[in-house]
Amino acid sequence: MSGKRYTEEFKVEAVKRVTDRGYKIGDVAKRLGVTPKSLHDWTKKYGDTSAPHQTITNQQEELRKVKAQLRRVTEERDISKEAAVDSIGHCNRYSKIPICRRLLDVLTS
């Protein structure tokens, strides 16, 4: 069974994406069109397993989770703002109260 052969330079660059940039093996393998098993083997062979950048500390993991949560909450806030602006007859801002009262008067009469 002969598979596709990759150059040493290609393998080293692929491993750098995992070790230096912190991407997941599965993601890098998918983007490069190689199997995760091959990339894992290359990481064992060419990667520096003693490098401090390979170990994710608890603080880094917590920071990643907090950033993801912040991004989600920000998107939810933006959606809520758009819904508030698009709603008819519902004014959520203090500056629009007189306009709402006139609108309600027109609607109820």
With a cut of 70, say whether residue 106 has pLDDT above it.
no
Token representation of residue 53:
């950048």
pLDDT higher than threshold 80 for residue 17? yes
Least confident of 16-30, 40-54, 63-77, 91-105: 91-105
The average confidence (pLDDT) of the chain is: 77
Residue among 61, 92, 96, 99 at smallest CA distance from 77: 92
pLDDT for residue 50? 47
For residue 77, give the amino acid letter: R
At residue 12, the pLDDT reads 87
Dig out the tokens for 102 from the structure: 């006139």
Confirm if 66 and 41 have CB atoms less than 8 A apart: no
Span 32-60, average pLDDT: 76
Please tell me the pTM assigned to this model: 0.42
Question: Is it the case that residue 55 has pLDDT exceeding 80?
Answer: no
What tokens appear for 87 in the block?
């709603």
Is the model more confident about 43 or about 89? 43
Report the distance separating Cα 87 and Cα 103, nearest Å: 13
Alpha-carbon distance 66 to 99, whole Å? Answer: 39
Distance CA 23, CA 61 (A): 14
